[in-house]
């Protein structure tokens, strides 16, 4: 299968980064939530600045019924909007392969409920800043990791998408089994996002500090230990140690800060600041659910889950 046509579902930062880069090589359609967003993209194109610099032509619509046929669908909505997005594709595009990129766990099963497309699981460490509907700044040019989901797609297909993304100027890596990477990121996210959302701190050095008794790094470390115990009970060998991911990200953030950039604001903190629902159910909720299924106590993640849920509704 040669991938000629890509549909990106979701016009947020991550969706825009995929759509913009891929549109330089293949035909790209974008499904947005707001009609005015789609109209602006179709009229003006999509500008990517920062780590890349170009403007790409895309075909955008806010109505899933108007989507042209595609070979690869990248589902890049927030986890909280995934159900609505998948419902729009229900039973259509039988020849397509879909790739889910949501934080947390459970996106693949949810999409599976709307059609029997071959699925690729993916996680991404890219980040960007949205300046306008038609302009996204590419901030961290880190990798997208992808792999076949539960035997529905093949490793060959994952490698084909890896090659497509790489040719477009993005960084990607295909794995025969994504779960080790997915769980590393799940534990990292369940910890860093909730701590940030409750303390109002961006991902700064305090997350790795463990010199004083009441330093935040102790809590971060304890939360990650709980997460690692769940992964072990599930039978997943982690791709990367989440604590080392944390230390590494904080150091990179400090280097960037020294160059005058702002520290990274985790998406859950952005959501809380914006008064939007967070992805807590898909991230910490999923982790706590897996823990319960395997009989692993996770009192700290349970506490974080309740605190973030309460903060959302306050």
Interface residue with other proteins, options 53, 63, 200, 237 (CB under 8 A)? 200
Interface residue with other proteins, options 55, 142, 159, 199 (CB under 8 A)? 199
Residue 292 tokens, joined: 């319960």
305 sits near other proteins (criterion: CB under 8 A): yes
With vertex at residue 242, the alpha carbon angle to CA 105 and CA 231, rounded to the nearest 5 degrees, is 50
Give the shortest CB-223-to-other proteins separation in angstroms: 8
Closer residue to other proteins in complex, CB, 166/303: 303
Neighbours of 68 (CB within 10 A): 11
Nearest one of 131, 166, 116 to 145, comparing CA atoms = 166
Contacting range for other proteins; rule: CB under 8 A; set: 80-88, 137-145, 146-154, 299-307: 299-307
The set of residues, in sequence order, having a beta carbon less than 8 Å from that of 217 and lying 6+ positions away, is: 206, 207, 208, 209, 210
265 sits near other proteins (criterion: CB under 8 A): no
Give the shortest CB-199-to-other proteins separation in angstroms: 4
The Cα–Cα gap between 197 and 311 comes to 9
Closer residue to other proteins in complex, CB, 167/204: 204
Neighbours of 297 (CB within 10 A): 12
216 sits near other proteins (criterion: CB under 8 A): yes
Number of residues that bind other proteins (CB under 8 A): 24
Of residues 13-32, which lie at the interface with other proteins (CB under 8 A)? none
Interface residue with other proteins, options 219, 231, 268, 291 (CB under 8 A)? 219
Contacting range for other proteins; rule: CB under 8 A; set: 85-93, 98-106, 154-162, 304-312: 304-312
309 sits near other proteins (criterion: CB under 8 A): yes
With vertex at residue 177, the alpha carbon angle to CA 119 and CA 246, rounded to the nearest 5 degrees, is 105
198 sits near other proteins (criterion: CB under 8 A): yes
Inter-axis angle of helices 299-313 and 216-234, nearest 10:
110
Tell me whether residue 98 is exposed, middle or buried, using C-beta atoms within 10 angstroms of its C-beta: 0 to 12, 13 to 18, 19 or more. Answer: buried
Q: Which residues bind other proteins (CB under 8 A)?
A: 195, 198-201, 206, 214-216, 218-219, 222, 299-300, 302-307, 309-311, 314
């Amino acid at each position: 299968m040669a991938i000629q046509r890509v549909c990106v579902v979701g016009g947020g930062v991550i969706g825009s980064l995929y759509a913009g880069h891929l549109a330089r090589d293949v035909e790209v359609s974008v499904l947005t939530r707001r009609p005015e967003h789609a109209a602006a993209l179709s009229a003006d194109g999509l500008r990517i600045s920062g780590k890349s610099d170009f403007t790409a032509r895309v075909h955008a619509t806010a109505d899933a019924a108007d989507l042209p046929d595609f070979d690869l669908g990248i589902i890049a909505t927030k986890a909280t909007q995934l159900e609505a997005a998948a419902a729009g594709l229900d039973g259509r595009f039988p020849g397509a392969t879909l790739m889910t990129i949501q934080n947390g766990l459970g996106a693949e099963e949810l999409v599976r409920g709307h059609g029997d497309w071959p699925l690729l699981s993916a996680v991404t460490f890219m980040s960007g800043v949205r300046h306008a509907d038609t302009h996204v700044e590419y901030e961290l040019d880190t990798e997208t990791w992808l792999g076949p989901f539960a035997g529905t797609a093949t490793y060959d297909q994952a490698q084909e998408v890896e090659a497509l993304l790489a040719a477009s100027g993005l960084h990607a890596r295909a794995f025969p089994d994504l779960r080790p990477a997915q769980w590393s990121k799940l534990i990292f996210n369940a910890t860093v996002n909730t701590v940030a959302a409750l303390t109002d701190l961006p991902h700064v050095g305090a997350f790795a500090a463990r010199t004083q008794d009441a330093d935040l790094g102790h809590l971060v470390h304890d939360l990650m230990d709980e997460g690692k115990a769940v992964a072990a009970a599930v039978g997943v060998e982690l791709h990367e140690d989440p604590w080392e991911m944390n230390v590494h990200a904080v150091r990179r953030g400090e280097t960037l800060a020294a160059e005058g950039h702002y520290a990274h604001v985790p998406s859950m903190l952005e959501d809380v600041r914006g008064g939007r629902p967070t992805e807590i159910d898909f991230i910490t909720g999923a982790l706590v659910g897996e823990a319960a299924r395997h009989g692993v106590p996770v009192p700290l993640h349970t506490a974080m889950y309740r605190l973030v849920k309460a903060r959302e509704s306050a």
